[in-house]
């Protein structure tokens, strides 16, 4: 079982819709990251959070440490939001120093 699970794997929506992508993890973490990856490979860090909620423009990220769950929301979605959204965690208490990633959610926003 993967330590980081994302859902859905694929999501197609119409422009303007409210989008939610979910991430669940099974290990103790010190931080959780939401990343955006466009075709061609480049990854952009959207959020890094360890508690509560963060907002940047039309993007909102929340995390519930007790339930080991995080969500990424996109309001008023636009075709340029089409990308792969990846949840990644920093595992606490030793182990690898790098991030542990989910497999990503492939989002397509149709005009």
Partner 1 sequence: GAGVSQSPRYKVAKRGQDVALRCDPISGHVSLFWYQQALGQGPEFLTYFQNEAQLDKSGLPSDRFFAERPEGSVSTLKIQRTQQEDSAVYLCASSLDPESNQPQHFGDGTRLSIL
The site for partner 1 (CB under 8 A) is made up of 4, 31, 33, 35, 40-45, 48, 86, 88, 95-104
CB of 52 to partner 1, least distance (A): 15
CB of 42 to partner 1, least distance (A): 4
What span, in angstroms and rounded, lies between the C-alpha atoms of 100 and 45?
14
Half-sphere CA count of 3, side-chain side, radius 13 A? 14
By beta-carbon proximity to partner 1, the closer residue of 17 and 82 is: 82
CB of 78 to partner 1, least distance (A): 23
By beta-carbon proximity to partner 1, the closer residue of 20 and 100 is: 100
Candidates 20, 15, 14, 1; CA nearest to 105 is: 20
Q: Which two tokens stand for residue 32?
A: 């959780």
**In what helix (H) or strand (E) does residue 47 lie, and over which residues does it extend?**
strand 43-49
By beta-carbon proximity to partner 1, the closer residue of 17 and 43 is: 43
What span, in angstroms and rounded, lies between the C-alpha atoms of 20 and 59?
10
CB of 86 to partner 1, least distance (A): 6
């Amino acid at each position: 079982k993967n330590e980081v699970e994302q859902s859905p794997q694929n999501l197609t929506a119409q422009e303007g819709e409210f989008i939610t992508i979910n991430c669940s993890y099974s290990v103790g973490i010190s931080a959780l990251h939401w990343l955006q990856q466009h075709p061609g490979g480049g990854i952009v860090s959207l959020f890094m959070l360890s508690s509560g909620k963060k907002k940047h423009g039309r993007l909102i990220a929340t995390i519930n440490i007790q339930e080991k769950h995080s969500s990424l929301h996109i309001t008023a979605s636009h075709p340029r939001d089409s990308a792969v959204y990846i949840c990644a965690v920093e595992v606490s208490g030793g182990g690898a120093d790098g991030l542990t990633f989910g497999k990503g959610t492939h989002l397509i926003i149709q005009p």
